Structure 1
Amino acid sequence: MIANVWSLLKLLMFQGLFTSPPQDPGFDFFYLTLQWPGAYCDTKRSCCYPTTGKPTADFGIHGLWPNYNNGSYPSNCDPNNEFDPSEISDLVSTLQKKWPTLSCPSNEGYKFWEHEWEKHGTCSESVMDQHGYFEKTLALRDRINLLQILTDAGIEPNDEFYELKDIKNAIEEGFGFTPVIHCNRDPEKNRQLHEIFFCVDTSATEFINCPRPRDGCPSHIQFAKF
């Protein structure tokens, strides 16, 4: 009898009908965070172009951040898993274009990527390794032509002011998911479109509706030139 049960289980596993439960990733979703370089540079803090030159006037990646539904997030989960540049050597040219650094002094971007991996990426080790973290983030970013969506709706980076609701509606209609938007302040204290957050499932493959869609902007914001 036991032998027959074991044979049945092996058959089910072979056919893909019986599998072990998925591993708990230790968090509830990811934030894919994209930032507008014009807003980053139009503040009191220093802004330096990377050694490869001025980035394209487009939304760049800030990071892919594991989060909890209650609004908190894990960080620096594995001090032993340090950033290894050799792991992403095949991605560097793409990272420099789509995940550029604007911090000073001018640099290639490795410090930025190291920070993102060690603070956020190490908390997703149950889902992907270092190479997978950067590769999947780039792939997610490529699925959102964010600047095109906004310009098609007449929302352009021209230092003009736009209604927050119009920005969100344009993105929802053009992409299918409502983003979370955060703003900064320029030296004149204008509130500017700075970062746009999209929520992603724990496998880092599918976009989802955000569990806590709370914006950090007033109703009327500036879209800075770059």
Structure 2
Amino acid sequence: MKIKASCLFLLALLATTCDSSGFDHFWLVQVWPSGYCLQANCSQTSDRFIIHGLWAVNVVDKTLPGTAGKGDPSIRPSWKKHGSAAKEFIQPRDYFQMALQLAKDTDLRNTLQNHGAVPILPDGGSYNKRDYKAAIKNKTGHDPLLKCVKGDDGISHLKEVIICVDDQAQSFIQCAKQKDRCYSDIMFDVPPRTN
């Protein structure tokens, strides 16, 4: 009986692995411009998180290719690069509306400031990675993935926050276990001054 159960488990695992290339859910990817521009050599024009895209991913959290190449961090080119990979499930207009609504629901700047044990402010200070994750988990119910860029100062600067969303782009879900690309302390860079 143990052998049969083991074989069934192995078959289920193989079936999941074989089907890992198709669309399963989305990543809501939001960029912190001050960190992103350290790597991308762009001008910092916002004091808010910017939607990089709603990315179609497979069951093992690998992004699926869309119909276009690299885009900048904004929602417009994101449909061709990422959203079109899920075009059987979602149309462009719905894609944009859902991405905007999800970003509004997460309101990352407010979430980091008000939903953790420690207020995380874009003041140029460093905060522990656990505190970033805890604040976002308190808001969404699930751990995010964090991406950072190593600055010339050797410090991790917050670049992106990835939050996993179900295949209907309606509910937050747990991301597959992946390593964050950040050290334990992450700088939340000061945004540009707006007049």
Q: Structure 1-normalised TM-score?
A: 0.66
- Give runs of aligned pairs for residues 50-199 of structure 1, distance below 5 A: 54-55=45-46, 57-76=47-66, 78=67, 113-114=76-77, 116-152=78-114, 153-199=118-164
Aligned sequence identity (%) = 30
Range with greater deviation from structure 2 (194-203 or 182-191) = 182-191
**Residue 184 of structure 2: aligned partner:** 219
Unaligned runs of 5+ in 1: 1-25, 80-100, 103-108
Distance 2:64 2:39 in 1: 29
Q: Deviations over 1:133-187 (max 9, x none)?
A: 1111111111112111211232111111111011111221233221111111223
Matches of 2:79 and 2:35, distance apart in 1:
24
C-alpha RMSD of the superposition: 2.2
Q: State the shift of 1:213 in Å.
A: 4.1
Residue 37 in structure 1 maps to residue 37 in structure 2: no
* Partner amino acid, structure 2, of 1:127: F
Tell me the distance in 2 between the aligned counterparts of 1:136 and 1:222: 29
Contact map agreement 1:181 1:195 (CA 8 A) in 2: yes
Match of 1:46 in 2: 41
Partner of 1:84: none
Residue 224 of structure 1, CA deviation = 0.6
| Largest Rg, 1 or 2 | 1
Q: Residue 189 of structure 1: CA displacement?
A: 2.6
2:106 match: secondary structure: coil
Assess, with a 3 A threshold, how the Cα gap between structure 1 residues 168 and 203 changes in structure 2: closer, same or farther. same
2:164 is matched by which residue type in structure 1?
C
2:101 is paired with a residue whose SS is: helix
- Tell me which amino acid in the other structure corresponds to 1:69: V
How far apart, CA to CA, are the structure 2 residues paired with 1:148 and 1:158? 14
Partner of 2:167: 202
Tell whether the 8 Å contact from 1:179 to 1:213 is kept in structure 2 after alignment.
Answer: no
Q: Secondary structure at the match of 1:165?
A: helix
**TM-score, reference length from structure 2:** 0.76
Shift of 1:214: 2.8
Q: Could you say if the C-alpha distance between residues 27 and 212 of structure 1 is closer, same or farther in structure 2, counting changes exceeding 3 Å?
A: farther
Q: How big is the shift at 1:61?
A: 0.5
- Per the alignment, in what secondary structure is the counterpart of residue 207 of structure 1? coil
Distance between the aligned counterparts of 1:145 and 1:45, measured in 2?
24
The 5 Å alignment of 1:7-46 reads 26-41=22-37, 43=38, 45-46=40-41
Task: Provide the C-alpha distance between the structure 1 equivalents of 2:152 and 2:39, rounded to a whole number of angstroms.
Answer: 6
CA distance in 2, matches of 1:146, 1:201: 19
- Per-residue displacement from partner, 1:5-45 (whole Å, max 9, x unpaired)? xxxxxxxxxxxxxxxxxxxxx4111100011111122x154
